[in-house]
Structure 1
């Protein structure tokens, strides 16, 4: 009932604009927030109409108690798990096994596609190094990813009992088989200390650092009603009015955010102090990002064509030109 689109490589795609196009759903101004929400609602209605059982089942996953009945660390059983973190070549789906609890009402699960043998004997320090490896460390040829992830009960995970794979060549579609799943499950059950080490690691996992950039803090919390009124006043003010507008926000994120708003949209509204603060922030941001940007150019260079090499060189010159020199 639903036409699933293919990308340029002939592989199934989850891109919203392709799904809407393949199913005759109006989707003007793709990537506009409101247009995308409207299109997503239309796709959801299509799923409900064409696949009502699937829709009703996944809707139940909003209830974390329903999820806990299937993903239960007190009664461990393998389950089917679809997640954007899993490989595209396996339809983003695997058979996972609940190992132990983690903080924030979650559970650590193991991807039974992979043999646990190389991992169960590792120390807590070695496991932690794999879990918290940086992006650069993960690109090393000898890096072996630890196939575990956190499942959050309260985030509507797409999970299902193992029996769904018995229908319509389910096992073949995800390139797995029951024998492999049972073999890897038994290895985990024979090594309970592996789960215990992971429990300690995840429960003591450092919290995400609060980012200094106010624009990266927008999802840290909602605004109160008083600040909403002040924000609306900012949005309605013109350049001249903004120059003399100094609202007293209760939310500490909003004062620096106002500076960024004025600097980007109404630079002539900035006072000398405002301009100095903005230039200091801009310089620090550019200087902090430059090493990573240059490293990315260097990674791309060995395989680049002549035209691409020219583009990379131009990008390097541009970056060097816009980054202020340190005093």
Structure 2
């Protein structure tokens, strides 16, 4: 474990130069704003195709003091889905527990949507939520006819991810916090590891409410030990604020903290912005200044594109490593002025400042590289849609008229849904509506619809899937044969399967 002393966070704008005396004035979050810490436990890793098991949330004021009682919901499983056995072993939540204590997914989604949207200026926070929990939310709302996106920005709402805050704290201002290491001697940012190292009680990892409290404690820890860093990252979590840091014409370097750089590099590097993605204005094309610039300068756009979009194992030349990265400006990325990295941190993190500066000068001498990278991404292969409507959220936005129709669907009593005469432009809505009724209100299906649903279930719960499900349970049973609780959970999965296919 690593413990470092305490020092203030200061930053200025000098090029790749350690911090100077200039300071940014950061205004803390207004008193009427709140944080909503939240977490999902799910029955699998796929936000689109797997299902939520449990949700928990706790609201705090802008100073991280809890407001009101924690909220905990379970979600019943529909009968066209098989949980991932490993997920059940991790969370300890069996389908039987979720079904006994839970509500329909429709009601589950409605409760969460109300929590997210009932109070203006809510910052919705989690731990790795941008890459997982927020995707679970989006797909949950999509399946149940709520706006998949508005909850995170309407009424001055926002979102924030404490995982990247912890990574940034380790890289930029580690003082005052104990940093546990993993088996490879790199810092571990697993919530259960970092809470334990810093003396926070976290009795039930992978229990939603336990993880919510643990995330809150980590936020308090950073706010206490590194308040200026906390305020900076909070202020610059939004796209509009981040845009003020980005200067493409001058190729102004920035510090970027992200898992794309890997544990061995402490998830941090200097980057330089090159251009905006030609087809997605939320994507910033950058170059990693610690990488070799030769491929970017020497290869043409077609070859660069092939290397960027092809798995390394499938490339003819596996030795080429591209310095190009994409930063999702709407996903709370950690960006900061280049000089935020202090001299002692540059040394501690083994960053070659001279090499980075040389690469920056090289890129500035070849401004045409911007046009090249734009061409690389202009030739992006078309998005491949899934055949499963549950996984078609990102096929496109719904029209105003379809969204209005979906609002009517949500407000209609279940028994009146079959007689509802609505026409939708997007075929996804009609397919979703059938599944929505079958999963949440099966009693509303007529004979023909029941046969259609039975056929759908047979396709989902096919022989191969059931066989693989049982094989995984057998494998886990061997691994956990001496653990009573886990063996009970595996037996519960077998019983659940019997009920589904009988």
1:164 lines up with 2:340 in the alignment: yes
Higher strand share: 2
Distance in 2, matches of 1:228 and 1:25, equals 41
2:229 and 2:299 map into 1 onto residues whose CA distance is 40
2:245 paired with 1:66: no
Helix, strand or coil at the partner of 1:278: helix
SS at match of 1:55: helix
Bigger share in helix: 1
TM-superposed CA distance for 1:206, in Å, is 4.3
1:4 to 131, 156, 179: 179
- When residues 208 and 106 of structure 1 are mapped into structure 2, their CA distance, relative to the original with a 3 A threshold, is same
Contact 1:260–1:278 under 8 Å retained in 2: no
Measured against aligned partners, the alpha-carbon deviations of 1:212-242 in whole angstroms (never above 9, x if no partner) come to 3344346888995544467x96xxxxxxx9x
* CA displacement at 1:154 relative to structure 2: 3.0
SS at the partner of 2:286? Answer: strand
Of 194, 207, 215, the residue aligned with 1:40 is 215
Deviates most, 208-217 or 87-96: 208-217
Q: Could you tell me how far apart the structure 2 residues matched to 1:175 and 1:211 are?
A: 43
Which of residues 454, 459, 466 in structure 2 aligns to 1:275?
454
Q: Deviations over 1:148-192 (max 9, x none)?
A: 11223333221222222234x211233222210121112212222
Q: 1:77 aligns with which of 248, 252, 272?
A: 252
1:118 aligns with 295
Query: For 1:6-29, what per-residue CA distance to the aligned partner results, in whole angstroms no more than 9, with x for missing partners?
Result: 223332111112122222334344
Contact 2:390 2:432 in 1 (8 A): no
Alignment partner, residue 386 of structure 2: 211
Provide the residue aligned with 2:306 in structure 1. 129
* Counterpart mapping for 1:106-255 below 5 A: 106-134=283-311, 136-137=313-314, 142-167=318-343, 169-206=344-381, 208-217=383-392, 224-228=406-410, 251-252=429-430, 254-255=432-433
Cα displacement (A) at 1:276:
2.0
What is the CA–CA distance in structure 1 between the aligned matches of 2:374 and 2:464, rounded to whole Å? 36
Structure 1 length-normalised TM: 0.69
| Equivalent residue, structure 1, for 2:109 | none
Cα drift, residue 61 of structure 1:
1.1
Note the residue ranges of structure 1 that are not aligned, 5 or more in a row.
234-240, 263-268, 291-306, 309-327
* Higher mean C-alpha displacement, 129-138 vs 180-189: 129-138
User: Aligned partners of 1:183, 1:256: CA distance in 2, in Å?
Assistant: 59
Q: Residue 118 of structure 1: SS of its match in structure 2?
A: helix
1:217/1:118 CA distance change after superposition, 3 Å: closer
Aligned to 1:86: 261
Alignment deviations for residues 81-122 of structure 1 (CA, whole Å, 9 cap, x no partner): 111111210101011111112132332110011121233121
Distance 1:174 1:63 in 2: 27
**Contact 1:99/1:109 (<8 A) preserved:** yes
**Distance in 1 (alpha carbons) for counterparts of 2:208 and 2:433:** 25
Residues 91 and 213 of structure 1: CA distance in aligned 2, closer, same or farther (over 3 Å): same
Change (3 A) 1:42 1:81: same
1:262-311, CA deviations, whole angstroms, 9 ceiling, x for partnerless residues?
8xxxxxx994432223323555996xxx9xxxxxxxxxxxxxxxx99xxx
Distance 2:253 2:204 in 1: 42
Relative to structure 1, is the Cα distance of residues 218 and 122 closer, same or farther in structure 2, using a 3 angstrom cutoff? Answer: closer
Match of 1:299 in 2: none
Q: 1:128 to 1:84 in 2, by over 3 A?
A: same
Aligned length: 271
CA–CA separation in structure 1 for the residues paired with 2:306 and 2:317: 16
Unpaired stretches in structure 2, ≥5 consecutive residues:
1-175, 441-446, 469-477, 480-502
Of residues 282, 288, 300, the one that matches 1:105 is 282
Q: Secondary structure at the match of 2:368?
A: helix
What secondary structure sits across from 2:260 in the alignment? coil
